[in-house]
Amino acid sequence: MGRYVLHRLLLMVPLMLLITVVTFLLIQLSPSDPAEVALRVNMIVPTPEAIAALRLELGLDAPLWQQYLHWLAR
């Protein structure tokens, strides 16, 4: 019985990893720019300079795999 439980627990690791990858990719596929949305929500005019600065601050200028690791770490 203990071996079965351990086996099932070990199978949860790749499943959770797959769930996080799918969730992250669905977020990335949204049609809006997160930096622009964040500026609009805070009643800031989204100029190209402001959008670029916020994208840099949020790490949205990094490669997708780095964004995923950063998102996963949080």
The domain limits of the chain are 1-30, 32-74
pLDDT per position as a tens digit, 44-55? 999 999 999 999
Q: What is the mean pLDDT of residues 67-74?
A: 93
Q: Measured on CA atoms in the order 54, 56, 57, 63, is the torsion positive or negative?
A: positive
User: pTM higher than 0.85 for the full model?
Assistant: no
pLDDT at 25 over 90: yes
**Mean pLDDT calculated for residue range 23-34:** 93
Tokens of 39: 């500026």
Cα 28 → chain centroid: 7
Question: Under a CB-based contact definition with an 8 Å cutoff, are residues 68 and 21 in contact?
Answer: yes
Q: Is a pLDDT exceeding 90 seen at residue 74?
A: no
Read off the pLDDT of each residue in 15-21 and give the average, rounded to a whole number.
Answer: 96
User: What share of the chain in percent tops pLDDT 70?
Assistant: 100
